[in-house]
Chains A and B, each alone.
Chain A
Amino acid sequence: MKILVPVKRVADPDNANKVKVAADASRVTTDGLEWKINPFDEYAVEAALRLNENAKSGEKLGETIVVSIGPKDAAQTLRQALAMGADRAIHILAEDEQLDSFVVARALRAITEKEQPDVVLLGKQAVDGDSNTAGQILGELLGWPVASFAATIETGDAGKSFVVGREVDTGVLKVKVTAPAVITVDLRIVAPASVRNGATPADHAYGEGARYASLKGIMAAKKKPIDEQPLAALGIDAATTSRYTKFELPPARKGGAKFVADVHELVSLLQSEAKVF
């Protein structure tokens, strides 16, 4: 099947505590932090590759296209996804300030309508803005069903439908969607048996997490096409719906940890000082 995977580059999430705010509070600065592929989008790439392969025979079952909307250097993120095994890439050039979840969703709608994939598969949220909205908005703009927060995906009807296990607060909500559809993925989509496509033998267990790019994959990615075009070329409504007036760092927790000698001291401090019981 044909799968479109939108990916975003984010400041290294494992160092998110090093993010700063500009002196005039007008923007977040991530100087000194590496750009990484948004982890949930990386998981979406992995899930797409699993859907589109027979992991036993190595046979490829469809095309995986990655798309990113962002500045010039977002190309590096696309190369990474190509190195993992995606077939080709689309890069919509835009500055981060031009974008919010609506602009992104409108841009993705334009690309989706052109590419006509069976599924748009993306991370449930980007871990910089932490909004968790773009996939749901995209589905609604397309008039497609959306299965958000997917922890499992199983294809049926020869790839025309999917049973998706959605991870929700109270357990797992299973839905069946008929293609074309939008699926947003949660972190457990990369567990060893989370994706079943009917071709890879049912007893096949993937490694935990997203695959690493092999050296061969990295070499091959250099030859794969990235179709680059400016945001304006999509002819979409580029008006944002939100405006950030300022940013601030959260107040630091006072003091830092007080090391206690033993359980006795801990309990007595919890009673006398913290007064929690």
Chain B
Amino acid sequence: MTDVLVIAELLDGKVRKTTHSAITLAKTIAAGTGGAFDVLAIGDGAKAAAAELTGFGARKVFATQVDGGYLAENYAPTVAAIGGSYGVLTVTASTYGKDLAPRVAARLGAGVASDISGVTVEGGTLTYKRPMYAGNVFGHVQLTTPIQVVTPRQSEVEAAQPTGGASPVEDLAATSGGAASARIEFVALEQSAKSARPELSEAATVVSGGRALKSAEGFQTVLEPLVDAFGAAMGASRAACDAGYVPNDLQVGQTGKVVAPKLYVAVGISGAIQHLAGMKGSKVIVAVNKDKEAPIAQVADYFLVADLFKAVPELTDAVKKARA
């Protein structure tokens, strides 16, 4: 019987959708071992955020108010204090989870399985499957510590849907930070401009552009109409981000966002291993590239060899018609 604690991710006092993947993992483990799961909402506005989490079947939802912006130094002591009575702690492997989880694990002497794509439960033993080597190998790992800390990859673990019910919300006092807390301060979170498009890690269709688009204007005038024709999220290769054509948080890859949409359209992206690591879990992959030898061909289902500046506007019109 393994009880699981989900650590919710909050932004501006709201629950980020990343949280729902951790809930799915918690449910799987709790169901497989005959345990229960609780949720901890921690941060500024935790009480209101906790109310968003009462419909997922948790035994309890804890709310810990911590003023100011996110600092692991101010969160980890509370998470570790409550986490000591659970078998598994889980938070989705967003940049938040990747920063916080190991900090909590170190406090608890708990092993970490990070960025996992799935779990199997056999006779109470949990085995986690995780991509390694930029997604070129899967490792199956067991943690040998009494408490385990696990971060699921959002694109691989489906978001939990509300199941109704009303988990009770309980206030939990914050445990104050240690010496490290006094040596770090939150300066600012400079959020990227909000887009009306779906979020990259959640979209059913992603259209990404590479350096071949040649400029920020190339993205705006050529790629964006295609993105919107599909009702897609927009992504980019590292090269396009580095060149300043689009903001860095659109980067898809081993070290950017990992996506696994139903349809991924790669425009002018050659397909470096690091980029493939971020999108090869997509169901259908389309490449538009003038070089038919480009490595993106290794993963593409459909490959249109063409000059993107000519083909993409045509494709945009055709998609609009097909979807009309």
Contact = CB atoms under 8 A, between A and B. Distances in A.
Interface in B207-242: 230, 238, 242
Q: Interface of chain B, helix or strand or loop or mixed? A: mixed
Given A130-B131, A264-B318, 19 more contacts: A17-B273, A28-B137, A40-B255, A101-B112, A130-B132, A130-B134, A139-B106, A143-B178, A145-B180, A149-B98, A169-B249, A170-B189, A171-B190, A208-B242, A242-B111, A249-B136, A256-B300, A257-B298, A263-B304
Interface in A207-244: 208, 240-244
A131 B273 contact: no
Given A137-B105, A263-B311, A132 B114 contact: yes
B218 to A, nearest CB: 18
Contact of B106 (A140, A145, A151, A247): A140
B12 to A, nearest CB: 9
B185 interface: yes
B226 to A, nearest CB: 11
A144 interface: yes
11 contacts: A19-B136, A21-B137, A130-B254, A137-B103, A145-B180, A146-B180, A166-B95, A170-B11, A263-B318, A266-B302, A274-B301
Contact of B184 (A28, A137, A145): A145
A249 B302 CA distance: 23
B302 A188 contact: no
Contacts of B72: 136, 146, 148
Smallest CB-CB A-B distances: 4 pairs: A241-B111, A140-B106, A136-B102, A145-B184
B191 A149 contact: no
Interface stretch (A90-98, A121-129, A198-206): A121-129
B51 interface: no
Interface in B116-164: 127, 130-145
B245 to A, nearest CB: 14
A187 B112 contact: no
Interface string A243-258: 1111111100101111
Contacts of A264: 318
Contacts of B115: 130-132
Interface in B284-309: 284-287, 292, 297-306
Nearest to B311: A263
A151 B86 CA distance: 35
Interface of A: 11, 13-17, 19, 21, 28, 40, 100-102, 105, 124-125, 127-134, 136-137, 139-141, 143-149, 151, 163, 166-178, 181, 186-188, 191, 208, 240-250, 253, 255-260, 262-264, 266-267, 269-271, 274, 276-277
Contacts of B144: 240-243
Contacts of A149: 95, 98-99
A132 B319 contact: no
Contacts of B138: 247-250
A104 B114 CA distance: 16
A175 B95 CA distance: 15
Contacts of B89: none
Contact of A13 (B103, B230, B249, B273): B273
A242 B142 contact: yes
A173 B184 CA distance: 13
Given A136-B106, A258-B302, A259-B292, A174 B188 contact: yes
Given A130-B134, A245-B140, A177 B183 contact: yes
Contacts of A21: 137
Contacts, number: 274
A260 B140 contact: no
Chain B interface: which size bin?
Answer: 35 or more
Nearest to B98: A132
A219 B287 CA distance: 46
Nearest to B201: A169
Given A28-B133, A131-B112, A143-B178, A260 B303 contact: yes
B284 A276 contact: yes
B259 interface: no
A248 B184 contact: no
Given A136-B106, A139-B180, A246-B140, A145 B73 contact: yes
Given A250-B136, A271-B322, A140 B76 contact: yes
A173 B280 contact: no
A28 B284 CA distance: 28
Contacts of B196: none
Nearest to A208: B242
A183 to B, nearest CB: 11
Contact of A173 (B136, B189, B274, B299): B189
Contacts of A129: 132
B106 A169 contact: no
Contact of B112 (A133, A247, A260): A133
Contacts of A172: 189-190
A250 B130 CA distance: 11
